[in-house]
Amino acid sequence: MTLDPDAQRALEIGRAAGGEPFENGSVAAARTAYIASFPTQQGDREPVAATEQRQVDGPNGPVTVRIHRGIGAPRTGARAVLYLHGGGWVIGNLDSHDDICRWLANLGNAVVVCPDYRLAPEHKFPAGLEDCAAALRFMAAGELGIGPTRIAVAGDSAGGNLAAVLALLARDGLAPPLAAQILIYPNTDARQTTDSYRRFGDGFGLTAATMAWFRDHYVQRLDDIADWRVSPLLASSLAGAPPAFVVIAGHDILADEGTAYAERLRAEGVPLVLRHWPGQIHGFVSMGRHILAARQAVSEAAAWLRLETRAQAD
């Protein structure tokens, strides 16, 4: 399958912008460059019914969360999504995926909560995961008018990793229960040995070198790579996890591990929708200014979420 023309153009725009690979500079430089890229990549930040920011109790101090109430979301018993942004556990913030959060809020008639979780290397594993769990506990407490059985977790890339892990923690009673999970090109295997690392390791946006740089900042020690909370594909069982909607980009170094995770979910009895976008690249959902499939993917996920959480309604 060849690259989608939109994806090809997005890559060309990125190359024309220049800039050093993240791994060739400092973390601060990577964050600055990533923030500067938002206006040239993101889709429209469409209006929602209401937006607010709060601080919620976290394990090591307050965690800032941004809350979007989508158009059509009820004041009580609303479906809700905890959205965990991507960025390799090292970059990204409340603005980096705000367009996606707004789309999900409106398309899902939902309340979407995005936490500004702690980033590595200042805060290594499991700090960010702990902050995400704290945000989920805040949502489950009922203060936002959320239906307690209508909460989903979602995320892309490293955020998809955190979402998958949080879904398993919820299954095990170590976090509030979840009705569904949406995993967008998730990182599920920190060993970074799948064949898609060879096929798409350079020239398709996210490179193998950058992914190794992200991981090495995230883990505290090499042994963490085999911890299922870093590599959920290595969990002993996925059975009993919440129903899943998984998005795979065909030209992505994470394609094989994301597909393997989805196949394990299905094999172990978890209801699954696996959606392949064969012509797309890693991060395409965050490139709505150039890639039409970005909003299409979110629309499909939101439609699935509406059906899934309707069945789980209080």
pLDDT digits (tens, 9 = 90+) for 138-176: 999 988 999 999 999 999 999 999 999 999 999 999 999
pLDDT at residue 294 is higher than 60: yes
In this prediction, residue 189 carries a pLDDT of 98
In this prediction, residue 115 carries a pLDDT of 98
Chain-centre distance for alpha carbon 235: 19
pLDDT digits (tens, 9 = 90+) for 90-108: 999 999 999 999 999 999 9
> Mean per-residue pLDDT for 239-261?
98
Provide, rounded to the nearest whole percent, the portion of the chain with pLDDT above 90.
92
Residues designated catalytic: 157, 252, 282
Q: Any residues with CB less than 8 A from the CB of 102 and at least 6 apart, and which?
A: 45, 46, 47, 48, 68, 70, 112
> Mean per-residue pLDDT for 297-301?
98
The span from the CA of 169 to the CA of 135, in Å, is 14
Confidence of residue 40 (pLDDT cuts 50, 70, 90): confident
> Mean per-residue pLDDT for 12-20?
88
> Mean per-residue pLDDT for 252-261?
98
In this prediction, residue 311 carries a pLDDT of 55
Q: Among all chains, which residue has been given the structure tokens 């979301």? A: 73
- CB-based contacts of 230-236 (< 8 A; 24+ apart in sequence): 230/125, 230/161, 230/190, 231/188, 231/189, 231/190, 231/191, 232/161, 232/164, 232/165, 232/168, 232/188, 232/261, 233/188, 233/189, 233/257, 233/260, 233/261, 233/264, 234/189, 235/168
User: Tokens at residue 209, please?
Assistant: 């070198």
Mean pLDDT (the chain, rounded): 96
In this prediction, residue 313 carries a pLDDT of 52
Q: Report pTM.
A: 0.97
> Mean per-residue pLDDT for 19-46?
92
pLDDT digits (tens, 9 = 90+) for 187-243: 999 999 999 999 999 999 999 999 999 999 999 999 999 999 999 999 999 999 999
Chain-centre distance for alpha carbon 181: 10
Confidence of residue 314 (pLDDT cuts 50, 70, 90): very low
Angle ∠(209,212,216) on CA atoms, nearest 5: 145
pLDDT digits (tens, 9 = 90+) for 58-94: 998 999 999 999 999 999 999 999 999 999 999 999 9
